Structure 1
Amino acid sequence: MYNTDMPTRAELPSSKKLLRSTVLALITASLLLITVVLPAEYGIDPTGVGSSLGLKKMGEIKQTLATEAVQDAAKGSNTSPLQSTAQAAIPEQAKPVSETNRAIRNDQTIMTLKPGQATEIKMEMKKGAKVTYSWRSEGGLVNVDAHGDPVNPPEGFYHGYGKEKQIAGKEGVLEAAFDGKHGWFWRNRSEANVTITLKTSGDYQSIKKMM
């Protein structure tokens, strides 16, 4: 009834061609996942491509909104009708600011270090508070020591979040292990001036240059 010709065995793709096509498809999908999907959806940018395309910022905003939505939902489910009525009767300006509703800070700090010079930036944070950060150096590589200091630390106290030598930048999330000051110490070991740009976003009360 139908005159459609069936392909011959010679016209069918070989197993080798099918395997190569499958591998190329997997590689393409992996590259898209790493360079586009992860930065745009989760704010994770292992290659730096997402930052240059503006996708990483989009992902960070999505994650922040998702976290706030979960917190709001949990807060609503734990509130009884009687509590809701009582809270509604309080004027908006009189409501206390809870720990979970603190405003998210966003800061950019720029520092220039001469050869051999060092600097330190610390944020005032509560235990468990989180800050998303990224920093880059221009003009050369630097040594960095991320650490925290509690209030009235004992002699010789040190709590580190990681040390690295001769790098041009890093990004991630810093979670405070205790109430106190947390941040980074950089030293320029190169023979030229180095400019460091630090971007921070999260739950911290203040950010200061310590030296």
Structure 2
Amino acid sequence: MTDINPPLLETKQIVKATVFALVLGSVLFVTAVLPAEYGIDPLGTGKSLGFSRLYLPDSPVGIATIETDGPKSYPPLKLEELGSGPDVPIPREVDNPAPAKQFELRQDSVTIRVPAGKGLEYKINVLKYGQVKYEWVTNKGVLYFDFHGEPKQANPGKDEFFESYTSAYSGNMIGTFLAPFEGRHGWYFKNKTDKEVVVSLRIRGEYKLDSKE
């Protein structure tokens, strides 16, 4: 029986192979990995070899980013500004029981154009304890918004009661909503810029579109 003894590499050969592997790995990292994974192309090889096209930014595909004109400061919002205020009586209709059946499930996509320096509302009709999921995003900039509801009343007073759920400055918002009473619920958008802002709103849940819109 013949013994097979594989040749042993000399120390110089091992060092050369290690150095070559390190150099090759560094070249591949700079020319391929950085452009494809991180969008960094210091040598321009990622663009010329096509690796830069593999880079995907953090924003999900198909979701528009919000353009702004630069950082701006906004006045702080106070708790006292929420809702219709303590002087407006709460109508008795808010205590009405929930219906045995909610509105049928539906979903809608709505485009809302808010003129420069103006404000407007968009409302939907929801029964008590009706559930709604929503998402809205502007095409550019930040809006002041107040997400609120007005209970359905037989004889509304001079100062109509409304309850605010969320109020903020934002260019994008998502949420889930459980109506505390039957009525009109929705958003007031205020555009404090000198350009029109377009809001893309998606709604899904137990509601009906407001006939007043």
> Of Structure 1 and Structure 2, which has the larger fraction of its residues in helix?
1
Structure number with bigger Rg: 2
The TM-score, its normalising length taken from structure 2, stands at 0.49
TM-score, with normalisation over the residues of structure 1? 0.50
